[in-house]
Structures are given as structure tokens and as C-alpha cells.
Structure 1
Amino acid sequence: MKVRVITAIVALIIFIPILLLGGNTLLILSLLLGIVGISEFLRMKHRFFVSTEAWISFLGVIVLILPRNFWHHIPLIQSSHIVFYFLAFLLLLHTVFSRNRFNFDDAGALALATLYVGTGFHYFVQARAVGLAVIMFGLLIVWLTDSGAYMVGRAIGKHKLAPKISPNKTWEGSIGGSIVAVIVVSGLFTIFNWLPQYHFFELLVLALLLSIAGQMGDLIESGFKRHYGVKDSGNILPGHGGILDRFDSMLVVMPLMAILGMLS
């Protein structure tokens, strides 16, 4: 527990100032986090970091995280999706020349993981570009849902939420975490008028949807860790695991914020 707390404090000391600065500083951090995140997936797949599929995956994450206006300056390429499709095609082509060392299932898994990690961090950067209040709305929901679910689950949790995927999670904890997040975040942002474009009821609905999505993100990551037989996605954060362990909810919440029109 001591190691976990120390890691969290150090991470926040580094993360909060970068979050406040935003801009290229946050973009660089997001690119680094994305590369580490996909490298954790490669490790779970038992793929070398210097392999062809690894370099394609690294490049794919970078391509997806970069802001949209980056591609406006490159002739013939107006969107990251064009480049991503080309990289996905290279993964498929690699199955032909790898002599069955790299197959179609591997290509599909890496393409989906790249899309998952790259898109999540892309909208993380975009959320900060829209405004500090917007990104904090999403992050607070994730943090409060996680903390609330842990405390409520430990206190009264009895009914397992997904025992075959994450045996420690309970329905009581899940519901309690969402209630805590929705009430605290909606009340806080309404009192201080941090998102004046939304009414209180709208904030309630958005907070509830994002809280549920965050928990789904947590379960998704637990699911593929269970599939690959690992406890943590990595060990870069002592006591917390890897980047995917810490950002699993955010990688789902931030794209959903874009879908809900919060990042436009």
C-alpha cells in the first residue's frame, strides 16, 4: 500500500502540471503513454518490441493520437484514418510474408488494440484543447467512480458483477460508484458554473453515461488481461500496474465524450 500511495503522489505531481499546461506538452505525454500502452499489449501477445508488427503498431498509435489539423499540412493525406487503414493493410500483408509466425488473428488483435489506445489518447488531448473544465469533468467521473465503487463494494458488496472477468467487483460497488460520481461531479460543476452550456439535468445524464462507460472500460481491460493470463498490463507504475491499468476507463470515456458532443 505504501508503494502504491507513493507512486500515485509522484504521478500526480508530474501529471497535474502537464494537464494544466495542455498544448504540445500534453500531446507529447499522450504520445509516450500511447506507445507504452501498445507496448504492454505487445508484451501480453509475446511480441518483440523490435518486430515488424510492433513498429507498425507504434506508428499506428502515434498516427491516431496526433491532432486532426496535423494532417492538413500533408499533401494527399487529409485524415489519420487513411494512414491507419494503410498500416492495418501492412499488418495483413505481414501475415503473408511471416511464414505463419504472425497470423490473421494477431493482425486483428493488434489493429484493434492500436485503435483502442490511439483513439482514447487522441480524444484525451482533444478534451484538454476544448477546455480544462471539460477534461476535468471526464477525469473526475472516472476517479470518483473508481474510488466510490471500491469503498461501497468493500462496505456492502455481496453480488458479483462479473465474477469470471473481475471477481472483486460487485453490483453494489458499481452502482454506488456511479451514484457518488454523478452527485459529486454534477453538483460541483453546477455550483461553480464550470460548464455553463449544460443545465444540471444534462450534467446528471452525461455524468451517469460516462460513469457507466468508465466501468465498462475497466471490465474490458480486465477481460483481455484474463484472456492473456496476466495480473497487470505492465509494471511501469509500482503498485498500480501498467498504463493500460491506469487509463483503461479514460480510454473509453474520452471517445464517448466526443460522441456525446462534449468535445466539439
Structure 2
Amino acid sequence: YGASDTEPKSDLEVPEVPEVPVPAGDTPEVLNQVVSGLSSRWRDFWVRGILTLAMISGFFTSIYLGPMALMTIVLCVQIKCFHEIITIGYSVYHCYHLPWFRTLSWYFLLCVNYFLYGETLTDYFFTRVQREEPVRLLSQYHRFISFALYLAGFCMFVLSLVKRHYRLQFYMFGWTHVTLMILATQSHLIIRNLFEGMIWFIVPISCVICNDIMAYMFGFFFGRTPLIKLSPKKMWEGFIGGFFSTIVFGIILSYMMAGYPYFVCPVEFNDHSSSFMMDCEPSELFQLQDYGLPSVLQSITGRTTVTLYPFQIHSVALSSFASIMGPFGGFFASGFKRAFRIKDFANTIPGHGGFMDRFDCQYLMATFVNVYIGSFIRKPNPCKIIQQILALRPDQQLQIFNSIKAHLMERGLLPPLEEAAYLPEGRF
């Protein structure tokens, strides 16, 4: 490619990032007619509020449709958010007429999703995977196939390098991978949280939504003190009001959901009906227990104990994170938008911006929930361990059996047995 007037004179120079054009919002005509007589401040308030109610209604509908619908929506949102961020990068990259960036970006997204969803398929559908021969082979060599796919994309990137633009191309290569880390990995964690029980999916997401709404409401009506320069419209009054509102909301929502197996049971696939099921004996986490109240609260309420689901206590941690750390996902997104001098990632949702503007806090929350479950909640699953043992060769199964037997006998949990009762190979 020949040099142009906009081309940097050397590879060491970093060109100024041009302003990224974002298409104008497309507010439905019916909404324009409803709010036409209002000031711009109140017009934005009502448009934002009506669209928020529409999105919440869609969220509840997805919950009713079940886990498959929720997983599909998570994947669609991930793809749309990825498109919005990559489009911004492409607007800069395309100015220099360099090849393959957008194609390679989508290829890497495909590779990452193939790897992550393949891991989930093996973890949660192990029995079914082992039953189907082609799928079993794909599962056995899944990581090698994933690495080979990524390696092909890596080679394509190297072949696409253009003289005098190396630095810019490597910058965009990093752009793609950071986007993948933020979006693909986090959306995968959201789905893994869902498999632990729909309550681990619904409560964290609902807390982030509640905090966003209540922080906006408190900031809109009572806001006087700016919170952070990155987001001039964020107010301390909204931050504090959103925090307490979200704590109360999380406790109430957890109480309403904890009594239903549909929400609290792990999501498992039923081979006979070929569908997901949520049917189990609820764990202690979702059984009412009495807790003693501090003396201060006893004098106020006149009660010595309170009856709660243990999950409600965990919901306080989830709500606190959604209120305190969750907004930093929004601040991060605000800094990103300021770097490229744009108001929103897109104008897909009138009054809200793009999908990334709505879900910037959700991805940070997904990581916290996954780490929280792994640290404080999850225990080894005997069913999965047995499934994995049954997939081994008979000699390997026998070796595990003898190891467990010896371990239990040493601890006195299994009474000693006469050696004559066993064959030399260790069989009865």
C-alpha cells in the first residue's frame, strides 16, 4: 500500500485517534409523540424509563422460558457487545486501509467460544458426550483442536502485517484480545453460574439492574454532589441510595426465590426427556433457619431470633458487590468512551445507548459470583466424580477402588476384611 497524507511517517509515531462516528438514536415514533411536550431532561427520563420496563419484561419472559433461552440470550448479548466494541476499533483501523482486522476479530471470537462452550459441554453433559462417538472424540481432543484453531488465526495475523503500520496492527491485535477477555470469558462465567442454580444467575443480575435504576432515580431527584469525573452525571446521593436499595432488594428477592426448586436446584440435563430440569432436594442453603439477633436489634424489634434462608445472608455480599464494585465497570466503560470521544457504544436502545452501555457492570459481577461460589459455596459433586470414574478403563476403576478402600480402612471408617475374601488381583 502506498503512503498517504494521513499515514504516520514512521512506525514509532502514534497517529491521533479520530473521533468515532456513532449513528443517531432511533427512538420509536410513538415515544416521541408521548414525550414531545417535555423538556430534554424529562424526555430522557421517560424514554429511559419506558425502555427499562420493556427490557425488564423481556428478562422475566426469558426466565419463564428456561435455561436454554437464558443461555441463548447471554450468547446473543455477548456477540452484540463484541460487535459494538470491534466496530469502534474498525472505524480507526479502516482509516488506514489495512486488511483482515474485522475478519480476524470475529474468527478469534469463534475460537474462544468454541473452547469455552466445549469445556462447559464436557463438564455438565459428560454422560451424554461419552455416549456419542463423534462428540466423544471432539471432547477428548477438544483443547488441542481449540489451540490449533487459535494458532491458525495467529498465523493469519502475522501474514496480514503491513510495512510501516506494525505498531498500529499490534495495537488492534491487543484490542481484540482484551475485548475477548472482557466479554467472551465473562459471559461464559455467567452461564457456569446458571448451571449452579438459576438463583445464582437471576439474583446477581437483578441486583445490578436494581442498583443501576435506583442510583439513577436517587441521582435524578436528589443528586447534588458529583461522584467521579469520568461520569459527571453520577452523584454520591445516587451511589448511596442505590447501595441501600439494592441490599434490601437482594434480601427480599432471595427470600421470594429460595423456596422454589425451579430456582435453587442445579440445572441438569435429562437424557430421557432431552431437556433441562431443576428438581432436587434443596440444600441447607435454601432451608429456613433461626438466627440470633444482636442485643441492639433485640431491644428495637422485641425479638431474639429471626428466620432466614442462609442464601439471604449470601445475597447481602452479592448486593454489596453489585452496589460498590459493580459501578466501576460502568466507570471503566466511561473512560473508554471518553478516550474515543463518544457518548455511547452505539444507539441500539433509545435512552440507554448500546448493549455494552447496559451490560458493562454485569460482566464484572459474573466473575465475582463465580469466584464466590467456588470459594464459599461449591462442594465436590459425587455424581460427577462417579461419572468420570465410570468412563475409565476397568483396570483404572479397580485401582481407584483399592485406593479408596485402603484409605477408608486406615481412617477406621471401613472395618478390616479378611484377605482371603479377595482374589490376588483385588477382586471379590
TM-score range, shorter chain: 0.7 to 0.9
Which residue of 352, 360, 363 maps to 1:240?
352
Conserved 8 A contact 2:115-2:143: no
Q: Which residue matches 1:137?
A: 203
Distance 1:121 1:199, change over 3 A: closer
Residue 192 of structure 1 and its aligned partner are, at CA, apart by 6.2
Tell me whether 192-201 or 240-249 shows the greater mean CA deviation: 192-201
TM-score (structure 1 length as normaliser): 0.82
Q: Which residue matches 1:18?
A: 62
Structure 2 SS opposite 1:103: helix
Structure 2 SS opposite 1:236: coil
Residue 134 of structure 1 and its aligned partner are, at CA, apart by 2.0
Residue 66 of structure 1 and its aligned partner are, at CA, apart by 2.5
Give me the whole-angstrom Cα distance separating, in 2, the residues matched to 1:8 and 1:149. Answer: 14
Percent identity, aligned pairs only, is: 23
Q: Which residue matches 1:182?
A: 247
Conserved 8 A contact 2:226-2:232: yes
Q: Which residue matches 1:117?
A: 183
Residue 245 of structure 1 and its aligned partner are, at CA, apart by 0.8
Deviations 1:181-210 (A, max 9, x none): 012212442476457613554432332123
Counterpart AA for 1:35: I
Tell me whether 168-177 or 250-259 shows the greater mean CA deviation: 168-177
Conserved 8 A contact 1:64-1:115: no
Find the structure with the greater CA-based Rg. 2
Give runs of aligned pairs for residues 113-262 of structure 1, distance below 5 A.
113-163=179-229, 165-190=230-255, 193=258, 197=285, 198=310, 200-261=312-373
Distance 1:88 1:139, change over 3 A: farther
Residue 137 of structure 1 and its aligned partner are, at CA, apart by 1.1
Residue 174 of structure 1 and its aligned partner are, at CA, apart by 1.4
Residue 38 of structure 1 and its aligned partner are, at CA, apart by 0.6
Unmatched tracts of structure 2, length 5 or more: 1-43, 95-99, 124-134, 265-283, 286-309, 379-428
Structure 2 SS opposite 1:161: strand
Structure 1 SS opposite 2:180: helix
Distance 1:71 1:189, change over 3 A: closer
Residue 222 of structure 1 and its aligned partner are, at CA, apart by 1.3
Unmatched tracts of structure 1, length 5 or more: none
Conserved 8 A contact 1:31-1:62: no
Give me the whole-angstrom Cα distance separating, in 2, the residues matched to 1:21 and 1:50. Answer: 37
Distance 1:29 1:108, change over 3 A: same
Tell me whether 110-119 or 14-23 shows the greater mean CA deviation: 14-23
Give me the whole-angstrom Cα distance separating, in 1, the residues matched to 2:322 and 2:52. Answer: 23
The alignment's C-alpha RMSD in Å is: 3.2
Q: Which residue matches 2:73?
A: 29
1:42 aligns with 2:86: yes
Give me the whole-angstrom Cα distance separating, in 2, the residues matched to 1:35 and 1:202. Answer: 31
Which residue of 99, 103, 122 maps to 1:52?
103
Which residue of 150, 164, 168 maps to 1:87?
150
Aligned length: 261
Distance 1:23 1:189, change over 3 A: closer
Counterpart AA for 1:97: S
Tell me whether 40-49 or 218-227 shows the greater mean CA deviation: 40-49
Residue 53 of structure 1 and its aligned partner are, at CA, apart by 2.7
Counterpart AA for 1:83: S
Counterpart AA for 1:90: G
1:62 aligns with 2:106: no
Distance 1:126 1:183, change over 3 A: same
Give me the whole-angstrom Cα distance separating, in 1, the residues matched to 2:232 and 2:48. Answer: 21
Residue 95 of structure 1 and its aligned partner are, at CA, apart by 5.0
Counterpart AA for 2:225: H
Deviations 1:28-79 (A, max 9, x none): 2222211111110011112579833332243156336626332574232249
Residue 216 of structure 1 and its aligned partner are, at CA, apart by 1.3
